[in-house]
Amino acid sequence: MQGNILSKAVISLVAALLLIPLQSIAQDLSGREIMEKVEDNRRATSNSALSRMQLSTCKFGVREGKITCAERPRVKSLESVGKGYGPDLKDSRSIAILLDPPAERGIGMLSFIYDDGATDNETWLYLSALGRVKRIASGSSDDETEPGSLFGSEFTTEDQDTGKLDEYEINLLEETVESGREVWKIETIPNEKRARQSRYSRTVLYIDKERFVELRMEMYDQYGKEIKRMLGARVELMNGFWVARSTTIMNLVTNRLSNMAFLEMHTGIDVPDEFLTQRTLTDAAFRETELAKLRAQID
Amino acid sequence: MEKILLSLSDAFAQAPYKVLKYKSFVLAGLIVMTTIMVYGITTRTTMDMTTDSFLDEADPAAIALDEFREQFGSDESIFLVYRAKDGNVFSRESMEAAQQLTDDLRNWQSLDRSQYPESVNGIVLDWDELNHIRRVQSIANLRYQESIGDSLLSNRLVPSSLPESNEELGLIRGNALSQEDYLLAFYSENTEYGAILIQTDFGTKPVEGFVSAVDAIDVSLDDSFGAFNDDETFNLEFNEDIEVQEIEFEAVDMLGYTSFQIMSRAIYEKYEAQFEFFPVGTPPLMEFMLEMLGEMMVLGIILVLIFTLLLWILFRSFSAVIWPLVTILLSIAWAWGIPAWTGVVLTTMISLTIMLIFAVGIADCVHVMSAYFSFRREGEEHHIALSHAYGKTGLAILVTTVTTMCGVMALATSDLAMIQVFGWTSAVGVFLAFFFTIVLLPILLDLWHPGNPDADASFADKLGKRWHSLKRNTKFCIAVVYFAAVFATLGLAVGSYIALVTLLTYVVVNWQKPILDAVPGITARYPYVIMAIFGSIFIACLYGMSKIRIDSNMAELTREGSAIQRAYAVVDENMAGSQSLEIVINTNTIDGMMNPRLLQAVDELQTRIEARYPNEISRTNSLANIVKETNKVMNDDDPAFDRIPDSELMVSQLLYLFNSSNPEDRRALVSDDYSKSHISISAYNAGSYQYQAFFTEMEEEIADTFSGLEAEFPELQVTVTGSMAMMMRMADDLARSQYASLLLALGIISVIMIVTLGSFQGGLLAMIPNMIPAVLSFGLMGLLGLPLDADTLLIAPIIIGIAVDDTIHFMTHYRIDLARTGSISKALISTIRDVGQAVMFTTMILALSFALLSFSGHLGMAKMGFFGAIAIFFALLCDLFLIPAMIITFKPTFGVKNVNKEIDFSKATTVHS
């Protein structure tokens, strides 16, 4: 089960928050078409990518109209490398290494994700304190796994999930303005099968009409009450993609928020196959050498 | 004093004239005011039916419970234990049924609603209630971790598709039995019983209309959320002075729990062919409590019927039935209407207030009417009879009103708001009953009263005459047929009760005069024997009282064999127990729960309490178990690693693993910043007394175990809490404070008696018959080994109050008569004659009404009904025999001068007649 969740986490971290290149303003798109465009572009960003991210989590309060952390945020930083494989690059391999905090430094996760449902995904977890790699497999593939937390933050795999648009009823509600930009307001309602695995009975998304960036997402529970809200900020063009560099998810029930900030994001990196193996997890020297090579490509 | 009492009596005698003079004005005023009150009741009543209303908000354990819920979610759940009818929960059929049922509960939205009834017992099923389900756990979706080679597997205990061969099915059972964490929690050792845990969001749902602070207009993230530094770093600002918005959670009432329970049952009942169900937890318990309230309403209706019938038979006039009812209803309307209009929050305890007003109102009215009717039968004109009746009874009614008010106001000293409100509303209600008896009853009796008793016989009189004209054999035959019919139609228990009502009524109606006439003679002849008998009973009961055990126990709340009692017994015998407690640990330090020494202390505490209470506690679970288990699994299931590692780094990474894979489980066990956690304890059902002791001992163990960590965690707080534990603890506190108030009330009543009777000696003398009924009921319970629970103690002051009322009437009346006649004999004779009848009537009506409560399925209520009825009957015996015997022996003068102390009833009677 851990495998599924964490591999999803890695993929989605890289993919979900990256957005599509500037496009001509689409006209008369349906809700489904808008979402498909968002999805297509997300997939393109997961290939040959190197990213450095920071996750900050805190309790929050509101003062003078500003949402602010009410305690010192807990910060985690991580580095991730991913690459597409298989036909149309629909399979993928990725590795993520925690850099900070010291207690979790060196924890690593290697995931092989297969597009074909018949092949089980594979995940290896490396706990640095134990110095051992464990291959993690879920018991059976039919499981309804609970949405996993991304590195202990308020982000869950579900918040970051992509694809599976067939499992949602997608309605374009209206065209409006959010954070000073023109947006489409779209609602997605999971079908019966999807609802079984979902925390949310409905999600409302505000998509930037020009940049196809999610500026805001509202997640509702089974009572129709908003329980989480995601806000995108600092939308920038990074390596040809519009990206909300800072994404904040607020848990409205526990008054905690997590922010995910892309410190660096690079695509078009040539990732050697050998880097995406267990050796990178266990062999720190190898890892550092290879990472240095990857970073050199950026410079 | 003497003069004051006599002038007060005269004032009461004048009261009816004064009231009648302004009849229309008074009546119109009362009608208008009552209409306003009724309007207030229907539109403005604020009723708090939540279970939290029983809790003292200031109690540290209650605060800890709130914090617990806020942090870890609701601890309210249905623990649905089932017995596989084929004897094995791991048989193919049982596992399939458990899988299907678990799926039904988890994914109820997909169920075909046409397959389910629309309503159960007249209650329409509300499917939305199932939204309260937060999580469902059973053998169908439990997982266990397994390390095979380099793979860490999280397997289902029971695979979704069951294996074909029976051999493989056997393996599932064998594997399940080896999973210590699940054994007894989800299946019994002999695998005959299984359990489904339905966790709810009760108590953790934000109140309706709660608006998050982030929803205010123009709220946005502060600038640091978008500020990347030039060196590619990013730092969120923080301000520890900013207040985090507190969420107010919706309180849950009995009705809420019940609707949920009823709906859940509709779902699981479909599997009754395969399983027999034993639900425990707050929802099923609250359903039972609500059923009890419903039953009380039925008993209430029967009570009014019996009361009506008795009044009619005893007074032989419908005016004697209607007017007391009107007076009482008005008192109830005002006593409820005043808090409704003033915005006071009422609880279900209003039903006890109604019961009290009903009892006090009856006593007041019956005393007045008994006097009025007897003056009428003696041939007095209506107005004169009315005036004489009030003159004779008014003062005594005033005194009983004051004493009962003091009794219930003693409850206002309680720490619990609901008890305070009960005390005040009841005191107001008791006063109102007095007020309306003085102000309204004379007007009502003036509007309609029986005519000349001889010339104008009522239907009841005619019926009585007809009966007496029958031959003895005919009477006998009718009686036999009547009793046979009663027993045949109503069964032994209710039949006996109705037979008793009939017999007593017959005796009182036909022989009250001979009985009352014989009393003085008997008491004069055997005063010492009578005192000796009462004295020994008193002493025996005092001894019994010393044995009384104050204890509230869920399983003893209901009758033997009731569904709820069976469920508790089954769960305690076969599973990990029906109760749960929580030890909340707050380190007040971020990441404090990752500290290996702290986790080792938690582990040690668990070992210690499990060892100390093998009969009370079945299992404990905490973050320490998770760390140990993960450590072992990550080290190839080597038992040597079934411990908390010494390295903080290791603990942190093991917890990282746990958090990544089971965030929901993690959040239910430790707070997001790892500063707070809790130990869950499964316990077998126990009484509140045991819980109270348990709390104290546990606190000692906690202090002992964590003592070495003070330097590292100076702000460490460890508190024992849990909903059911809190309820039990509160029940115990409540019972104790009630018991104390009751003793206080008896003290106050004694002081009032001393003042009213104008003599210390007289007051003390009156105290003995006053105390006997109270001592008798508690003493008997002590002797019989019956525990005194919170519910029983809530009604106790009411019953004691009623029992002493008659004694007060007797003593007050005697005191006045002694002042008027100056002769002990004359005063005693006239008191027995005048008050005797009223005391007999009120005793009949009230004791038989309370005896009816014995049929309640709620044992607390039944016990008090039964023992209360005995107390009231015994109070009558005290009034008729003990008081005269004591007066004859001690000859108290109550401060009246020149009293003729000669005891000669023949003369006294002659003089009077």
pLDDT single digits (tens) B617-650: 888 999 999 899 889 888 878 889 999 999 988 9
- Mean of pLDDT values over A113-141: 70
- Mean of pLDDT values over B518-523: 90
Percent residues over pLDDT 90 in chain B: 28
The answer to whether B634 contacts A127, with C-beta atoms less than 8 Å apart, is yes
What is the reported pLDDT for B282?
83
More confident residue, B128 or B791: B128
3 state SS for B806-870: HHHHHHHHHHHHHHHHCEHHHHHHHHHHHHHHHHHHHHHHHHHHHHHHHHCCEHHHHHHHHHHHH
- Mean of pLDDT values over B667-672: 84
What is the reported pLDDT for B310?
85
What chain A residue is nearest to B237 in terms of C-alpha separation?
Answer: A69
pLDDT at position B53 over 80: no
- Nearest CB among B131, B634, B653 relative to A107 is that of B653
Give me chain B's average pLDDT, please.
Answer: 85
pLDDT at position B910 over 60: no
Chain A residues in contact with B663 (beta carbon < 8 A): 146-149, 152, 156
A252-261, B284-293, B602-611, B882-891: range with highest mean pLDDT? B602-611
B707 at the A interface (CB within 8 A)? no
Q: Chain A interface, mutation test: which of B221, B630, B669, most A Cβ atoms within 10 Å?
A: B221
- Mean of pLDDT values over B374-379: 85
Portion 206-265 of B in contact with A at CB < 8 A: 206, 212-214, 216, 218-226, 228, 232-234, 236-240, 242-245, 247
What chain B residue is nearest to A196 in terms of C-alpha separation?
Answer: B107
ipTM: 0.81
pLDDT in tens, B821-862: 888 888 988 888 888 888 888 888 888 888 888 888 888 778
pLDDT band at B907 (very low <50, low <70, confident <90, very high): low
What is the reported pLDDT for B437?
95
pLDDT at position A141 over 50: no
What is the reported pLDDT for A18?
43
pLDDT in tens, B851-862: 888 888 888 778
What six digits make up the tokens of A245?
A: 């560099």
What is the reported pLDDT for B893?
80
pLDDT band at B21 (very low <50, low <70, confident <90, very high): very high
- Mean of pLDDT values over A143-159: 66
* Residue of B217, B257, B227 lying closest to B50 (CA atoms): B257
pLDDT in tens, B303-327: 888 888 888 888 878 888 899 999 9
CA–CA gap between residue B298 and residue B302 (Å, rounded):
6
What is the reported pLDDT for B461?
72
CA–CA gap between residue B604 and residue B246 (Å, rounded):
34
β-bridge partners, A135: A124, B151
Chain A residues in contact with B218 (beta carbon < 8 A): 65
- Nearest CB among A62, A127, A149 relative to B216 is that of A62
- Nearest CB among B151, B156, B663 relative to A140 is that of B156
What six digits make up the tokens of B194?
A: 């299984």
- Nearest CB among B107, B110, B244 relative to A59 is that of B244
* Residue of B402, B301, B369 lying closest to B841 (CA atoms): B369
Q: Which of A242-246, B197-201, B566-570 is predicted least confidently?
A: A242-246
Question: Helix or strand or coil: residue A206?
Answer: strand
pLDDT in tens, B225-238: 888 887 778 888 99
CB atoms within 10 A of CB B911: 13
Phi, psi angle pair for B706, to nearest 5°: -95, 5
pLDDT at position A23 over 50: no
The model carries a pTM of 0.77
Q: For chains A and B, count residue pairs whose Cβ atoms are closer than 8 Å.
A: 195
The answer to whether A234 contacts B218, with C-beta atoms less than 8 Å apart, is no
What chain B residue is nearest to A104 in terms of C-alpha separation?
Answer: B653
Give B845's contacts (C-beta < 8 A, 6+ positions apart). B307, B310, B311, B314, B362, B366
Q: Which of A170-179, A279-288, B309-318, B408-417 is predicted least confidently?
A: B408-417
Q: Would you say A207 and A7 are in contact if contact means Cβ atoms under 8 Å apart?
A: no
The answer to whether A65 contacts B216, with C-beta atoms less than 8 Å apart, is yes
What is the reported pLDDT for A115?
67
- Mean of pLDDT values over B601-618: 91
pLDDT at position A80 over 70: yes
pLDDT at position A25 over 50: no
What is the reported pLDDT for B913?
29
pLDDT at position B908 over 60: no
- Mean of pLDDT values over B123-134: 88
pLDDT at position A14 over 60: no
Chain A residues in contact with B152 (beta carbon < 8 A): 2, 125, 134-137
- Mean of pLDDT values over B672-692: 84
pLDDT in tens, B718-766: 988 876 667 776 777 777 777 777 777 777 777 887 887 777 777 778 7
What chain A residue is nearest to B229 in terms of C-alpha separation?
Answer: A263
pLDDT band at A145 (very low <50, low <70, confident <90, very high): low
The answer to whether A66 contacts B213, with C-beta atoms less than 8 Å apart, is no
* Residue of A152, A186, A145 lying closest to A168 (CA atoms): A186
